[in-house]
Chain A
Amino acid sequence: MIEVRGLSKDFHVHKKQAGLWGSLRSLVKRETVVKHAVKSADFHVGEGEILGLVGANGAGKTTLVKMLAGIIHPSGGDARVRGHRPWERPRDFQRQIALIMGQKAQLWWDLPAADCFLLLKEIYQIPERQYRETLDLLTGMLGIQSELNIQIRRLSLGERMKMELIAALLHSPRVVFLDEPTIGLDLTAQRAIREFILEYRQRERPAMLLTSHYMEDIERLCERILIIREGEIVFDGPLAEVMRTHARHKVVSVQLKPGAPRPDLARLLGRGLDLTVLEETPERLRVQAPRDEIPQLAGRLVTELEVHDLAVEELDIGTVIEGLLHSRQGAA
């Protein structure tokens, strides 16, 4: 559904020194720098797949989405979405895609959502029956039938986002671009949006490209992720693969028996192992260690302490990705 080959985007940005002198100089001679927002991206997204696009602010996620939605032209490379070059903006392509941006509203602020949906019905030439069925389905799934006739500006942020989702999906798109759809929402609204996206994917099987700063969005929705750092894709694979290749550590948690003597950690852990103590209380101990040292550590803890329970945990995915985003070596 989405095929991307060597896609890149450069922006030419003016640089100006601070102050009046800098302003005068820039009036006469302007210094331009080239910012490589996206560098030769290669990937694909299949039907029914939700691909997560993960990266820090300014990494190039939104630029990538905007190129694929046909909003901006690339500087190089090629992409096909449902067989079309997005930036040529053929009508057939535009009828098959949807864009939802958590930070930008598409609905008329002073009008009820029902009116905005009627306009979209005309824009996408949705037959009356299909329009009614889709609207009933989507409002039912999101539980906002009763808010349809309320002005958008009088709705809560969560309700507005739900309306934005309906607006984007009314024409049953085959490709959906979701740019931070849960940004700024409370936890309940975030969860509702995530569940809706999953259910919608299950039912309609569009290709979806999701960007989000909330790791829970990525964990709950995406089987596969792209990690983008300074415009460059540094990882493309299943979420689990990130853990396997980039999480070099695991965490051992030990629950001690009630009344057990306090362990001498310096003696216990200080013998030839590369360890970090994350938590230490009279009842509980959490220690981070390299993956290959976990058996030895677990054995030592069981042997030398009065252990009630022991668990080996993977590092939190957010921590691993954050490490990957911020380290040039790409390891956590």
Chain B
Amino acid sequence: MGRYLRLYLNFLRFSFSRAMEFRLDFFFRVVMDAAFYAVQIVFFSVIYRHTALLGGWSYDQVLIFACGFFLIDALHMTIFANNMWWLPIFVNKGDLDYYLVRPVSSLFFLSLRDFAANSFLNLLLAAALMAWALLRFPGPLDPLRVTLFLALLVNGAFLYYLIHLAFLIPVFWLHSNRGLGETFYTLEKYSEKPDRIFHGWVRRLLVSALPFSLIASFPAALLFEGLRPGLLLHVLGVTALAFAAVRAAWQLALRNYSSASS
């Protein structure tokens, strides 16, 4: 474990030294993400002009939920997104070769090697928005539940990465993964909405096989509606299952890796 932590610290060091070379890109990303956050907040503000509650949540509650999602998105963009973007390219160009001969987990290496240091300011921005949304909340918030909520947001970022990876792994067989990639970006929009607004089989799907609602919505529900052990177990259990499934799929995919001609 300590060794993997040291490896990750090296990735961080490399990423920051690289990012400093491209200053314009560094600032451009901050502006782009700030605009994205603003659009999302305005979206909910407009909805709440016409209704007092959405999926049983007030505007202040939805603001915390939305900021929770921003934080998850920023964590994903900073930690995983670049690596996810490169993965299909690496598979198709045969560039996994060197990762497969090293005595470390290839999944760890390929998921975390490229830390987006130029998104790091966005992570700080998202954290600041989260703090603002929590501090402006009119009712009392139990510190223990806030801590659990924040921990579950980190879990949500991990779950988001697992789902994203599940949509990318088929590239080992399909070689062109554009269709599945687009499908993921269409489906992930469900994680930006409170889970209560969905019903029937859509909702069942969103809390099980495609657990987008467990990413940000369930953590927010735990914060607002009290500690429900069943809900907590559900989130953690699905995350653990998703991790096991993705690892198994990864091993299977590597068996199918054909590299590329020299």
Bound Cα distance A33, B3 (Å): 45
Assess the B97–A119 pair: CB atoms within 8 A: no
Assess the B100–A89 pair: CB atoms within 8 A: yes
Bound Cα distance A327, B257 (Å): 33
Assess the A70–B100 pair: CB atoms within 8 A: yes
**Which segment of B6-14, B61-69, B70-78 sits at the interface?**
B6-14
Assess the B257–A71 pair: CB atoms within 8 A: yes
Assess the B100–A101 pair: CB atoms within 8 A: no
Assess the B14–A95 pair: CB atoms within 8 A: no
Which residues 120-135 of A have a CB within 8 angstroms of B? 122-125
What chain B residues lie within 8 Å of A58 (beta carbons)?
261
What chain B residues lie within 8 Å of A122 (beta carbons)?
3, 6-7, 10
> A11-B258, A72-B257, A110-B18 given as contacts; is B97 within 8 A of A101 (CB)?
yes
Partner of B103, one of A72, A99, A123: A123
> A99-B101, A119-B7 given as contacts; is B262 within 8 A of A72 (CB)?
no
Q: Which 3 A-B pairs have the closest CB atoms?
A: A94-B103, A62-B262, A106-B98
What chain B residues lie within 8 Å of A118 (beta carbons)?
10
Bound Cα distance A119, B262 (Å): 26
Assess the A111–B14 pair: CB atoms within 8 A: yes
> A66-B97, A119-B7, A119-B14 given as contacts; is B262 within 8 A of A101 (CB)?
yes
Instruction: Answer yes or no: A180 CB below 8 A from chain B CBs.
Output: yes
What chain B residues lie within 8 Å of A69 (beta carbons)?
97, 100-101
Assess the A123–B101 pair: CB atoms within 8 A: no
Partner of A94, one of B7, B102, B261: B102
Assess the A97–B101 pair: CB atoms within 8 A: yes
Partner of A123, one of B14, B102, B258: B102
Bound Cα distance A110, B15 (Å): 10
> A62-B262, A72-B258, A73-B255 given as contacts; is B103 within 8 A of A111 (CB)?
no
Bound Cα distance A95, B102 (Å): 7
Instruction: Answer yes or no: A232 CB below 8 A from chain B CBs.
Output: no
Bound Cα distance A132, B85 (Å): 36
Write out, one digit per residue, whether chain A residues 76-101 have a CB within 8 A of any chain B CB (1) or not (0).
Answer: 00000000000001010011011101
Instruction: Answer yes or no: A43 CB below 8 A from chain B CBs.
Output: no
Bound Cα distance A111, B165 (Å): 28
Instruction: Answer yes or no: A103 CB below 8 A from chain B CBs.
Output: yes
What are 28 A-B contacts with C-beta separation under 8 Å?
Answer: A58-B261, A62-B261, A66-B259, A71-B97, A71-B101, A72-B259, A94-B101, A94-B103, A99-B101, A101-B98, A101-B262, A104-B94, A104-B95, A104-B98, A106-B98, A108-B14, A110-B17, A110-B18, A110-B21, A119-B10, A122-B3, A122-B6, A122-B7, A122-B10, A123-B7, A123-B102, A123-B104, A124-B103
What chain B residues lie within 8 Å of A91 (beta carbons)?
103
Bound Cα distance A72, B253 (Å): 11
Bound Cα distance A69, B262 (Å): 15
Partner of B262, one of A103, A106, A115: A103
Write out, one digit per residue, whether chain B residues 236-262 have a CB within 8 A of any chain A CB (1) or not (0).
Answer: 000000000000000000010111011
CB distance from A57 to the nearest CB of B (A): 8
CB distance from B5 to the nearest CB of A (A): 10
Assess the A104–B97 pair: CB atoms within 8 A: yes
CB distance from B27 to the nearest CB of A (A): 19
User: Which interface residue of B6, B14, B98 has the most chain A CB atoms within 10 A?
Assistant: B98
Instruction: Answer yes or no: A217 CB below 8 A from chain B CBs.
Output: no
Instruction: Answer yes or no: A49 CB below 8 A from chain B CBs.
Output: no
> A104-B95, A104-B97, A122-B10 given as contacts; is B258 within 8 A of A95 (CB)?
no
What chain B residues lie within 8 Å of A104 (beta carbons)?
94-95, 97-98
Closest residue of A by beta carbon distance from B18: A110
What chain A residues lie within 8 Å of B261 (beta carbons)?
58, 62
Closest residue of A by beta carbon distance from B13: A115
Assess the A115–B14 pair: CB atoms within 8 A: yes
CB distance from B4 to the nearest CB of A (A): 9
Bound Cα distance A110, B22 (Å): 11
Assess the A99–B98 pair: CB atoms within 8 A: yes
Bound Cα distance A234, B255 (Å): 29
CB distance from B202 to the nearest CB of A (A): 31
List 5 extra interface pairs beyond A71-B257, A99-B98, A123-B104, CB under 8 A: A71-B96, A71-B101, A115-B17, A122-B6, A123-B103
Bound Cα distance A58, B10 (Å): 38
> A94-B101, A99-B101 given as contacts; is B262 within 8 A of A179 (CB)?
yes
Partner of A71, one of B7, B100, B104: B100
